[in-house]
Amino acid sequence: MYCKLTARLSLFVIIFIIEFSLVFSEAKLEELYPGFNYAEWFKNETGYTPNNQWFGAWVIAPRNDELYIGFATARPAEYDGTLLARWVGEWLLPVGQFSEQGIHCIKWIEDTLYGIGSDPSITDGWDGGNFYRYYPKLGIFEKIRYNTLKKPVLPNVLHSWGFYYDSTKKKFYMSTGSYYPSQYTKNGNDCGSQFDSTLACFGEVWQSYDYGSNWNLNSGGKDNNISSNRVYDIIKFNSVLFITEAELNNTYYLKKSSDEGVSWDVIESLNPSPLFRMCVFNNKLVIAANIARTIYVIDENNNIKTLTMPGALNYSFNVFANVDDKYFITYFSDGSVFSTYDLEKWTELIPSTGRNFVSIAYWDYEKSIVLSERGDTGSIWKYDLTDLLNTGVNKNSETDINYNITNNSISINLNNDKIKNIEITDILGNSIIIRNGINSKNCNIDISELNSGIYFVIIRCGKNYFVKKLLKC
């Protein structure tokens, strides 16, 4: 009787601790505007009906005590309808519409907000791309499409994907997907077909010295082809330009240029995902790989590491938040949120919520991250980082892990912590082996039955996650 009572009490305590930790995390995840119907508001402001699965705030740009939010009807290049909005206090106010099929890049540069859309739409033709500026002091929102000669400033640009500002040179860069009108018509008005042999579509890189009023072509096109489909993101790191680009045969490359985008070299053996924006953190360039849970990290000496994360990134563009170069925060497809200070050891901030987050941003004024959720019932959330920023990281107390991996078994030993559970997944993130309730410093796992291939071993110690890549021969 006594043993049964003790067991029940122990189980109650465990359940209470788990539920308390979940409630505590949820308590710190606050709705920006509780109960607000963003989809209905968007429809009333724009006249476009949000897609029930993919509507959402695809990009967020904080500024002091305000948030500037880019809403889109659906995924980029899918449906017409976008809206730039301003959140201040307890009010969500419309700023202006991008005449695009999607909005996924807005940036503050000094006192002006700049932005690009995915695909000119509505009344715009496809003779050129658009560029947008908003001056909050003047309350002016403008679209730049034609120059003084009534010619497109971005001729034949179909998709604008990446935008970067070089503050030292006062120079803008834009990466695009473009096309030749005559060949595009022959191709059935379609970019991205793997059967395209007409050179209808290609990627380009543009530059502007006058804050987007006029643009000059750096590279791309028939005579300097850097992509047979489109160039996605663009960023400068260590005085070198980097782009992610896609070919028509569904292969992806990371390329770099040391001459301001005139010529480009492929960085061999890397397979980046062009979907996720690149980010600089703690003087390292972070690029998401086209393999679940994997990132490439390039340091200032051009050394490249392939690292793994405790989850798979969710479909979106803006998935990384840099918190004052102290923490790097992202969300995963199960709705969980993790942080890291070194890109190798990860800490869970928010456990799996099942929410489909679609963008993240660091709001310095509030010392919080802001997360948007897709879908016509989705909301926008704020998570307070005060505890994390005040606590910091004691590197002397980091968990030390020793691995001993053979082709038949894995032996894991912790020096100053206990293993809670271990999960082995394939490269797509599917769970293959799960060991829960270990609660020991040591653990051995038999992997003799695994097929040959690449796997990830995920070790959880409390809220800390450690990931090891495993090659099974």
- pLDDT value at 221 more than 70: yes
pLDDT score of 314 more than 90: yes
For residue 17, tell me if it sits in a domain: no
Residues 443, 364: one domain? no
Which of 387, 415, 444 lies at the terminal end of a domain, its last residue?
387
Q: Which domain holds residue 348?
A: 27-387
325-344 pLDDT tens trace: 999 999 999 999 999 999 99
**35, amino acid identity:** G
Does the structure show a pLDDT above 90 at 102?
yes
129 and 61 assigned to the same domain: yes
Q: Mean pLDDT throughout 268-277?
A: 94
- How much is the pLDDT for 113? 98
3 occurs within a structural domain: no
Same domain, residue pair 304 and 382? yes
Residue 250 is which amino acid?
Answer: N
Residue 335 shares a structural domain with residue 415: no
User: Residue 9: its pLDDT value, please?
Assistant: 34
Answer yes or no: is 166 within a domain. yes
SS (H, E, C) 6-41: HHHHHHHHHHHHHHHHHHHHHHHEEECCCCCCHHHH
- Who wins on pLDDT, 272 or 419? 272
> Which of the residue ranges 27-36, 102-111, 147-156 would you say has the lowest mean pLDDT?
27-36
Are both 432 and 383 inside the same structural domain?
no
What six digits make up the tokens of 111?
Answer: 């006192």
One domain for residues 217 and 245: yes
Residue 102 lies in a domain: yes
pLDDT digit string, tens, across residues 184-201: 777 777 775 666 666 788
Among 397, 440, 445, residue whose Cα is nearest residue 419: 440
Domain CATH number, residue 446: 2.60.40.3080
pLDDT at 1 over 80: no
Instruction: State percent of the chain over pLDDT 70.
Output: 89
Question: Global pTM?
Answer: 0.83
Same domain? 359 vs 219: yes
Q: CA angle, 38 as apex, 159 and 377 as ends, to 5°?
A: 95
Question: Where is pLDDT greater, at 357 or 182?
Answer: 357
Residue at which a domain ends, from 338, 359, 387:
387
Q: pLDDT at position 46, please? A: 96
Confidence (pLDDT) at 5: 37
Residue 23 has pLDDT above 50, yes or no: no
The verdict on 309 and 214 lying in the same domain is yes
Q: Within 10 Å of residue 469's Cβ, how many Cβ atoms?
A: 15
What percent of the chain is predicted at pLDDT more than 90? Answer: 62
Query: Does 38 reside within a domain?
Result: yes
Same domain, 147 and 259: yes
Among 345, 361, 387, the domain boundary falls at 387
Q: Is residue 418 part of a domain?
A: yes
Per-residue pLDDT at 181? 82
Residues 433 and 346 reside in one and the same domain? no
Q: How many domains does the chain have?
A: 2
Are residues 340 and 450 part of one domain?
A: no
Identify whether residues 138 and 236 lie together within a single domain. yes
Q: What is the mean pLDDT of the chain?
A: 87
What is the domain-level CATH number for residue 107? 2.130.10.10
The whole-angstrom separation of Cα 151 and Cα 331 is 42
